[in-house]
Structure 1
Amino acid sequence: MKEYTEDELKYKAEAYCSTAEHCPSEVISKLNLWGADDVVTEHILEHLKKERYLDTQRFCKAFVRDKYRFARWGRMKIAQALRQKQLSSEDIAAGLDEIDETEYCENLKELLRQKSKTVSGKNEYERNTKLIRFAVGRGFTVDEVLRYIKQKDPDEFMD
């Protein structure tokens, strides 16, 4: 494995952070992979933060937007993923504030609508239990799911 100087590592880290939003734990992993020691890693992280290559709040906001829009995750799953990335509660909360409530509810309704077409059960209770389990696995709370499951017409998950 090639050994890099601190400047080379700094440039590699800048390039890595320029391509997409990353959190500090991801950058630390990359630096460790490239052979940086703890002192060098700390210097590079400070530099990246100072030059705004690395911004945890910006990362959280982008992560949340991508996950609820494209992956259609619920708040619980998004928050858990951000906690696994060792981000602060304040940054996670700021990211979750980015969620557009109307779009979020539409995502949940559409997920339930699609899943209800493929879910079968002996009775309505069993079918609804499967739908709830599915949506909770996607990171939505039971309360959020029940708001739509309890409606009479399964084809129209509306408020």
Structure 2
Amino acid sequence: MTEFEKHLAKIRRWCAMQERCMVEVRIHCRAIGIPDKSTDKIISQLNEEGFIDEERFAKLYAGGKFRNKKWGRARIIGELKARQIPDDLIKTGLSEIDEDEYRNRIIGMVEYKISVTDSSNKMLFKHRLAKTAIAKGYEPELVSDIIDELMKKKGI
């Protein structure tokens, strides 16, 4: 077995553990000391074999981070861009997120925050409600609309 085949087998096993993108594979190859020339060949081979698929990665990443980590679209987009996923594939990945589920996630987050936050100062109260959702990557305009809607509904 040649050195290249050993490296390829090692990276195949690593990719089989969870979905990876090309940038992650490139970084991992560099970290374990695989030369750049071999890395390019490995990535090409893994693409052909279906171990790496950027579209599949974007879909699974977006859906998983939304459901498991409760991230918003802005955070997911930023993370996918950091992994150099093309914009069209990012859009495809975000299509995995159901609009109603997305909105309900924000509502749940804000309702919880309403229940545990002091509402004596209205401006500070609204800021505190929005801060959590925006930090998770939800769009500020949407968060603000939902907060206004909930505050009106609850008479705050």
Q: TM-score, normalised by structure 1?
A: 0.89
Counterpart position of 1:148:
146
The residue type paired with residue 36 of structure 2 is D
Distance across 2 between alignment mates of 1:154 and 1:66: 32
Counterparts of 1:1-159 in structure 2, within 5 Å, are 5-151=3-149, 152-154=152-154
Give the alignment's Cα RMSD to 1 decimal: 1.6
The CA deviation at 1:7 is 0.5
The CA deviation at 1:122 is 3.7
Q: Which runs of 4+ in 1 moved over 3 A?
A: none
Unaligned runs of 5+ in 1: none
Distance across 1 between alignment mates of 2:26 and 2:116: 43
Unaligned runs of 5+ in 2: none
Distance across 2 between alignment mates of 1:12 and 1:112: 45
Greater CA drift, 125-134 or 56-65: 125-134
Distance across 2 between alignment mates of 1:91 and 1:80: 13
Distance across 1 between alignment mates of 2:22 and 2:102: 28
Query: Secondary structure at the residue paired with 2:33?
Result: coil
More helix by share: 2
The CA deviation at 1:125 is 2.0
Query: Conserved in 2, the CA contact under 8 Å of 1:25 and 1:85?
Result: yes
Distance across 1 between alignment mates of 2:57 and 2:97: 14
